[in-house]
Amino acid sequence: MLTINFTLKQLNGHHRIFAHFNYHPPLISIVKQLPGAKWSSVYKSWHFPPVKEIMKMLSEKTKGIAELNIDELRRQLEERKSLPAIQQEYTNKPDIAQLSEANRLSFEKYIQTLILKAYSNSTIKTYRNEFFQLLKEIKNKPVDDLNIEDIRRYIYYCFKKYEISEATANSRINAIKFYYEQVLGKERMFVELPRPKKPLILPKVLGENELARLFNAVPNLKHKAILFTAYSAGLRVSEVIALQLNHVDSDRMQLYIKSAKGKKDRYVGLSPLLLDVLRVYVKSSKIKPLKYVFESVEPGIAYSAASAEKIFNNAKHKAGIKKEITFHGLRHSFATHLLEKGVDVKYIQELLGHFNIKTTMKYLHVRKEQLVNIASPLDDLWRKGEIKWQGPTI
């Protein structure tokens, strides 16, 4: 029996699984039909996206023909998951060569602690960049020797020289606070540091007429489905692109939002119109989604947030909407429209997955089962005839 050996290599900025085996026409025919499979003339080997479902598909199709040897692949994948490999990914971004040796070691320890505490990628990147700014400014002075007055002068300096916003100042303080309290273990050293008052910024929302124009300006079914998904359940762009096929529960009419912001899972209602749109989209797709509801050109690889944002911006421009609003505005619009329709704010907070419900939740208890029965405002737009949709009757 033939043996297929696998290795993980980076090609054009993307990781790919390479399948190595002796020339065998029937086996070549199987491998080349895998989702996203391509031939590399450089490595003289077929390769495909590093997706578990593709490996499972290959295993099933090659039973009795070939044996899969994944030892080297497993070793490489474990190496990628190891702390030093992950740490290097974050520490290589800023030019740490310009830091003193002591501060470079502090920076590496800082990144390591963030990873060990399982902070999200976005938080790690934000904290990393803010802490690096401090290290760059103090030059050869060891960061461990700074006191609260040094930090106060540094924040004042940032306001004066760089004219940073209140939000950036708070983010910078939080990043520095993490180092002294979480890495060095100093207790509440920032209690006396003045915090800039955050400005009250009201969320920007789209009216129903604007939403209808926005949705109707998108002819591409996949693109329309992405925008519908965001608005129908008030999802963040990260939650839309992370939505997997097995997270769509048509029996209970729910969407499972896994490990959202704050690593909090939640269920939201599945709009009947959205379900209809998703079914037509998947059925009509030439390349069927393998794992995620919305995938990139590589099967099994999630669509990018940047691409989803671009879809929104193009639709907004085509619809003639002049408001300064981003993809996230669909989430704000969802919440605002539910509130206007009389839905209790406690339900809306649960649907959005917000943590900031401390005071109100002391007195009110919201049953989770009720949340998924709240009708999506997307369906209201469709019933009014505002949205053009020619799919099957719901």
DSSP letter for each residue of 100-141: -HHHHHHHHHHHHHHHHTT--HHHHHHHHHHHHHHHHHHTTS
Q: Is 331 a catalytic site residue? A: yes
DSSP codes of every residue in 311-327? HHHHHHHHTT--S---T
Active-site pick, 213, 224, 236, 337: 236
Q: Which residue in the list 161, 363, 365, 368 is annotated as catalytic?
A: 363
pLDDT at position 391, please? 67
Fold entry, domain 83-183: DNA polymerase; domain 1 (1.10.150)
Distance of alpha carbon 354 from alpha carbon 331, whole angstroms: 12
Q: Is the dihedral of CA 226, 229, 235, 240 positive or negative?
A: negative
As a whole number of angstroms, the distance between CA 263 and CA 242 comes to 13
- In contact, 7 and 71? CB cutoff 8 Å: no
* 83-183 and 208-383 agree in CATH topology: no
**pTM for the full predicted model:** 0.72
Active site residue 236: yes
Average per-residue pLDDT for the chain: 86
* Furthest CA-CA distance within the chain: 73
The residue annotated as part of the active site, out of 9, 15, 186, 328, is 328
Q: Given this model, what pLDDT does residue 337 score?
A: 84
Tell me, which fold does domain 208-383 have in CATH?
Answer: hpI Integrase; Chain A (1.10.443)
The catalytic residue among 252, 354, 384, 388 is 354
Q: Above 80 in pLDDT, residue 69?
A: yes
Return the domain boundaries, the chain.
2-81, 83-183, 208-383
180 catalytic per annotation: no
Helix boundaries (H) for 50-100: 52-61, 71-81, 83-91
pLDDT at 115 over 60: yes
Q: Give yes or no: 141 in active site.
A: no
List 172, 224, 331, 332, catalytic entry: 331
**Residue 85: per-residue pLDDT:** 65
Angle (CA) 377-378-383 rounded to 5° is 95
